[in-house]
Structure 1
Amino acid sequence: MTQEEVIHCGGCGVKLQLEDPHALGYIPAQALEKEPVICQRCFRIKNYNEASSITLNQDDFLKLLGHVGHKEALVINIVDIFDFEGSLISGLARFVGGNPIILVVNKIDLLPKVTNWNRIVNWVRKQAKEQGLKVVEVVLCSAKKNMGFDRVLQAVDEHRSGKDVYVVGATNVGKSTLINRLISDYSDLDSELTTSQYPGTTLDMVEIPLDDGHFIIDTPGIVYKHRLTELVSKKDLGKLMPGKALKPMVYQLNEGQTLFFGSLARFDFVRGERQSFTIYSSGAVPIHRTKLEKADELYANHKGTLLTPPVVKDLEELPPLVKQTIHISKGKKLDVLISGLGWIKINSEAGAELAVHVPKGVKIVQRDSLI
């Protein structure tokens, strides 16, 4: 395939390319000799029930999503309970029109086993509503533990009414696992993948045919640069994302004390009565306690060495830390979420003045306590 030749995938219609295996439209050179000529993504779906993780930035994704509002469809938005606000698609309701939305909340296996699941569902509904997202159902699940997927399928049956199903989500939320499960339950993979409704664009979706003539539409994952997980190396990504249930870590702090999360973030208890803070983050990210008056010096002298991850080489790829001041009023029980890293639960009702330092652009959210 020369630069002059333009060939489109016989499955999804995207323009094919030979250069980047991780980008949309990639096809190995030897596959050009086969019939039909389809991209690697379609090949994996068709032959292995495997949806690959092609990604788009938010602006390009929202352009693509604008098509959904002009047709009748069911939208499944899958989010990560570990990074709920960071993985939620802001503005989704504006783009899907009046189409019903099922909010599938993945990774619930990370929450403590004593969690009240009804409370979590109510919390999710409240948070989604505050974000302007009206959902017909909230389903809690775990792709890793295969929990809750039967309920996802039941919800699809109840709300689809013969419509196409669009599956949307940010990167690393488990969207591919959900797509694969839907494929195995609903799709006849002996059928050829059909040409996308939007052939020839760089914003293509993959349509997976259903037995009733409609489709599951696999949309590219959205890259949100406000998530710390999008900024770190692959090696450190594995440390940030917990692999098992979180073990809350409680720190009794006096004012003027600081917690470092490796070199990735810093939490200062600037002012307030002695109180406890509960940390919900991956155990692979070590927490280092020090005095606030020594925090700047400690970071300057030991970032990337004593304070890891990341190591010095990878730290150079991250934006510099910026400070955000947070005032917690008396009587408020809140979480402070650092998108992609976890959250700190403020346990005291006495109020506090805090400061959080994160790489520039990373989202920090104050919210009602999840747990």
Structure 2
Amino acid sequence: MIRILQLSRKLFGRRQLLHTLKSRELDEPSYHKKPLDPQIVSLVKKYDSDISYSSHIELNKKPLTYKQRSELLFELGSKAFIERLNKARESEPSVLVEKLIEFNDLKQNNNTAKTVIDEVEPTTPLVRETVIAEDEEKKAQLARAKLKILTEMGLRRSAIEHEIQSFPDNWMEDYETFDENDLPDTQYGTPDPKVPFSKVPCHGCGSNLQCADPSIPGYLPSELMSGHERVVLKRLICQRCHFLKNYNTALKVQVSAEDYVNMISQIKDKFALAILMIDLIDFPCSIWPNIIDIIGEKRPVVVVGNKVDLLPQDSKDYLNHVTKRLEDALVEFGLSRANIKHTCLISAKTNYGIEDLITCLHTIWPNKGDVYLLGNANVGKSTLFNALLGSDYCKIRARNLIRRATSSLWPGTTLRMLKFPIARPSNALLYERRKRLMNEERKQQALESLRRSQIFTGRTPEKTLMEHIGLTYELLPDAKEENEIQLTDAPPTEKYFNEHHKSFKYGKWLYDTPGVIQHEQIINFLTSEELLYTIPKLTLWPRVFYMLPGQSLFLSGLGRVDYIGGASEMRLAVYASEKLSIMIVNTAKADEIYRACLGTELLNVPRGEEKRIQEFPPLVRYEEKISVGNYYDTRNKSVCDIILSSAGWVSVNLPPTETAHFYAWTPEQRGIFVRKPALLPHAAHLYRGKRQKFTPAYAQKEPTEVKH
């Protein structure tokens, strides 16, 4: 009993010290890299005893040493300093207020100067010139003061907001068909419903070009499209693809899920192979459960798990473990009855595994029929299409004639089917390809040996899975000239792909199909700016936290996990985009804190004005309680993953023989799954560093070598 009282006093003392440190650090700018938003400071102070951790606050702190932090605490704790600080705050206005007062005075003087100018008679030119000169000087002074205040108040848009929300007014000048004498009435151009739809597809998304309706795929303003021949239109891309490629801006178009299904169901009666792509960061939510009903059970399928480069290595055999978890998810979602020929892991972004996929396709499907890329939106189909287009899998004559598909993080960039002709290599060419791959493998082994040697020299080894896509056979110079002359219908300077040429007419094709967003995904709820925060681009290093019963973890405003009981303590490892903020609060106040902090940097997604925050669907709790237990003889292995739809997942780490109970929340209760065993069972222990002082978070560390 005495030990329990001593422990409770110790915990109470630490908690009081933590609250004291929090309040002082929030008020003192010396602790922060940049000043905190006053709204965030007031929220953290209001819920001081209920907020245990906020990644936004912690990441904004300066990296002070223990000695510097102690000296600063001692200085802030002295009575003389506190009295001096309070006196300064009460008597002296802030610098910003002074400048705003100065700005208003300058504005008043400017208005007075205008009145003086109006009263001066035109017969006194010298006086009038002097007044005008003084007026211009005051205007310049006024502009400089205004610019300085705007800069200090932080009203300039960030680079990301500028990249998303703005584009130049003269964007039409990027097109060769633009005429300066035919200027549009609006910035987006003028539609013309009288012009019929063309039969020329956009080479970025595959939609037929049209200028009738901006909400329909393939739109181009009438100023750029009408009156031009088919040869000229073949060199153009639609407005949506142009904005995606040049300004990273996504325009909304209306395409129903039924149209997608009807388009893909056309392959049910065709003799073809299906490449089913799955996002490893968003599975099982990115698995299309009804795909077998659309393409048929007898259809040969190659399952491809994309974005493997974003998964940190937690064991020497982790790729096989990830493959097994992917196959288990396929069985769970009813794809066990599919005719799956092979399962592989790739990275369409870094080209890892692409060469092995091409070898697999040459072995399983040697020019038997067409090939279709299938999968949900944003799984990387267009990126893989572009990678295969520049590889041995595409016919030599078509590599430089077919333009790349639009590839972007926005879901649904492909709106109609794109295609390229599949190469039909002879046995001699396949032998040459095998020799090239063996030489490249030897070079890769030498680089891997060098990488391992760098571990012991203090250098950080490269961890990203990355490969190079080589070309075994290229077009000869004579064939290039023939290709330019015979494969085009336009003049020699105008080259485009003619699919009806005798070299391609009777060949086999690879099609890039559009993707749909499944009900379990939440990416359709997000705006362009919010997608930049949610979709990860870097390796998902685990962020580990120490949790107690009665605490809740918020993954920005996209997910929440309540630890309601079980073991006296446990650890949660969060795998999500590093841009998503994390906050740990008391479960009793979680709903109130969520409503108060939503829309601020404490819960940085969703973002925008108050109307956007109100429109965002609220978090809804999954009805069933999630109960897990640790049946391993160690706590260094994660028990399971709690998946929070497209936002990411949380791994549970428990002491041996202990159990824990959770509730999970996502918008509209979407995409909540429990994955057993965990996808990366050793990562939380392997990359977990020391506990950060006065916080439930652990620092991240980089292991010198994976020993499992």
Settle same-fold status: TM greater than 0.5. yes
C-alpha distance in structure 2 between counterparts of 1:223 and 1:55, whole Å: 14
Match of 2:668 among 336, 355, 360: 360
In 2, Cα distance between equivalents of 1:55 and 1:331: 48
Distance 2:218 2:399 in 1: 20
Post-superposition Cα deviations, 1:181-219, rounded to whole Å, max 9, x if no partner, equal 2222314157789xxxxxxxxx84233333561111121
Question: If you compute each CA radius of gyration, which structure gives the higher value, 1 or 2?
Answer: 2
Partner of 2:421: 209
Answering whether residue 620 of structure 2 is matched by residue 322 of structure 1, we say yes
- 1:28 CA drift (Å): 5.0
Shift of 1:20: 6.5
Contact kept? 2:276, 2:302, Cα under 8 Å: yes
Deviates further, 204-213 or 154-163: 204-213
Matched, 1:18 2:208: no
Residue 6 of structure 1 contacts residue 16 of structure 1 at CA under 8 Å; is this kept in 2?
A: no
- The answer to whether residue 279 in structure 2 is matched with residue 80 in structure 1 is yes
Q: What's 2:372 paired with? A: 166
**How much is the aligned-residue C-alpha RMSD, in angstroms?**
3.0
Q: 1:334 to 1:95 in 2, by over 3 A?
A: same
SS in 2 for 1:370: coil
1:262 and 1:309 in contact (8 A); partners too = yes
In the alignment, does 2:524 pair up with 1:230?
A: yes
* Residue 70 of structure 1, CA deviation: 0.4
The superposition leaves residues 79-99 of structure 1 with CA deviations (integer Å, 9 ceiling, x where unpaired) of 111001111111112222212
How far apart are 1:14 and its partner, in Å? 5.3
Whose strand fraction is larger, Structure 1's or Structure 2's?
1
Q: 2 CA distance for matches of 1:269 and 1:139?
A: 36
Residues 215 and 299 (structure 1), Cα distance of their counterparts in 2 relative to 1, 3 Å cut: same
CA distance in 1, matches of 2:626, 2:616: 27
In structure 1, what is the Cα distance between the partners aligned to 2:344 and 2:402? 31
Task: Tell me how far apart the structure 1 counterparts of residues 512 and 594 of structure 2 sit (CA, whole Å).
Answer: 43
Deviation at 1:365, TM superposition (A): 1.2
SS at match of 1:40: coil
Partner of residue 138, structure 1: 343
Paired with 1:86 and 1:178, the residues of 2 have a C-alpha distance of 20
Correspondence 1:179 to 2:391: no
Contact in 2 for aligned 1:66/1:95 (Cα 8 Å) = yes
Flag the 1:174–1:272 CA change in 2: closer, same or farther, 3 A.
Answer: same
Tell me, yes or no, if structure 1 residue 120 matches structure 2 residue 322. yes
Go from structure 1 to structure 2 and tell me whether the alpha carbon gap of 1:6 and 1:326 turns closer, same or farther (over 3 Å shift). farther
Distance 1:319 1:234, change over 3 A: same
Residues paired across the two proteins, number: 356
Contact kept in structure 1, 2:530 and 2:607, CA below 8 Å? no
Q: Report Cα offsets for 1:330-362 as digits up to 9, x if no partner.
A: 347321111111111122253322112211152
Distance 1:150 1:173, change over 3 A: same
> Could you tell me how far apart the structure 2 residues matched to 1:345 and 1:169 are?
26
Measure how far apart 1:58 and its partner are. Answer: 4.0
Structure 1 range deviating more: 351-360 or 83-92: 351-360
Equivalent of residue 129 in structure 1, options 292, 316, 331? 331
Q: Which runs of 5+ in 2 are unaligned?
A: 1-190, 404-414, 424-503, 632-638, 681-708
Matches within 5 A, 1:257-276: 257-273=551-567, 274-276=569-571
Deviation at 1:178, TM superposition (A): 0.4
Task: Identify the range of structure 1 (336-345 vs 130-139) with the bigger mean alpha-carbon deviation.
Answer: 130-139
In the other structure, the counterpart of 1:339 is 645
In the alignment, the residues of structure 1 paired with residue 352 and residue 213 of structure 2 have an alpha-carbon distance, to the nearest angstrom, of 35
In structure 2, the residue corresponding to 1:284 is in which secondary structure?
coil
Structure 1 match to 2:679: 370
Aligned 1:186-205 pairs, distance under 5 A: 186-187=394-395, 188-189=398-399, 204-205=416-417
1:303 pairs with one of 598, 601, 606: 598
Question: Cα–Cα, structure 1 residues 145 and 68, in superposed 2: closer, same or farther, change >3 Å?
Answer: same
Distance in 2 between the 1:40 and 1:292 partners? 51
Aligned letter for 1:18? C
Q: 2:548 aligned with 1:351, yes or no? A: no
Q: Which residue of 2 aligns with 1:102?
A: 302
Greater Cα offset, 27-36 or 86-95: 27-36
CA offset at residue 254 of structure 1? 1.4
The amino acid across from 2:418 in the alignment is: V
Identity of aligned residues (%): 28
Stretch moving more, 61-70 or 288-297: 61-70
- Residue pair 1:8, 1:14 contacting (<8 A) in 2 also: no
Amino acid at match of 1:315: I
Structure in which a larger fraction of residues adopt helix: 2
- Contiguous gaps of at least 5 residues in structure 1: 194-202
In 2, Cα distance between equivalents of 1:8 and 1:144: 33
1:319–1:205 CA distance, 2 compared to 1 (3 A): same
Write the distance in 2 (CA, Å) between the matches of 1:11 and 1:93.
29
**Bigger RCO (CA 8 Å, 6+ sep):** 1
